[in-house]
C-alpha cells in the first residue's frame, strides 16, 4: 500500500510536469490548494471503471476539480456529448422568457392533454 501510494505521488508529479498546472479540458489554471473549483485533479481519460489503465501515463491528464467532477466516470466522448446536450438546452431555454419557462405544460390537471 505504501509503495502504491509512493508510486501514485510520483506519477502525479510526472503528469503535472508534463501537462503543467493547466486544466486540459477548460484551460483554467489549477491550484494545489484543496477544495477549490480549480483544485488540481489527475483524471483517467478512459475511466478505470470502463477498463482504463490506472497506471498508464497516456491515460492520465490534468483537470481542474470542476471539470473532473463533471466528467465523472464518463469517457471523453460521453462527456463531450453531455456538455453539448446541456449547451443546446441552455440555448433553447434562453429563447423563452421567465414567464414562459414558468408556464404549466398542460391545463386541467396531470391527465389532460
Ligand atoms: Zn477545467
Over its length of 113 residues, how does the chain's per-residue pLDDT go in tens digits? 567 778 999 999 999 999 999 999 999 999 999 999 999 999 999 999 999 999 999 999 999 999 999 999 999 999 999 999 999 999 999 999 999 988 888 887 666 55
Contact status, residue 76 vs residue 67, Cβ threshold 8 Å: no
How many A from CA of 108 to the centre of ligand 1? 45
How many A from CA of 69 to the centre of ligand 1? 10
How many A from CA of 68 to the centre of ligand 1? 7
Contact status, residue 20 vs residue 30, Cβ threshold 8 Å: no
Contact status, residue 93 vs residue 87, Cβ threshold 8 Å: no
Stated pTM of the model: 0.80
Amino acid at each position: 500500500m505504501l509503495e502504491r501510494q509512493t508510486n501514485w505521488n510520483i506519477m502525479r508529479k510526472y503528469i503535472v510536469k508534463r501537462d503543467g498546472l493547466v486544466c486540459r479540458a477548460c484551460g483554467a489554471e489549477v491550484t494545489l490548494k484543496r477544495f477549490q473549483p480549480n483544485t488540481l485533479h489527475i483524471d483517467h481519460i478512459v475511466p478505470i471503471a470502463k477498463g482504463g489503465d490506472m497506471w498508464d501515463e497516456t491515460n492520465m491528464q490534468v483537470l481542474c476539480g470542476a471539470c473532473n467532477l463533471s466528467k465523472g466516470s464518463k469517457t471523453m466522448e460521453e462527456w463531450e456529448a453531455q456538455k453539448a446536450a446541456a449547451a443546446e438546452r441552455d440555448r433553447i431555454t434562453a429563447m423563452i422568457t421567465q414567464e414562459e419557462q414558468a408556464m404549466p405544460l398542460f391545463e386541467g390537471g396531470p391527465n389532460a392533454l
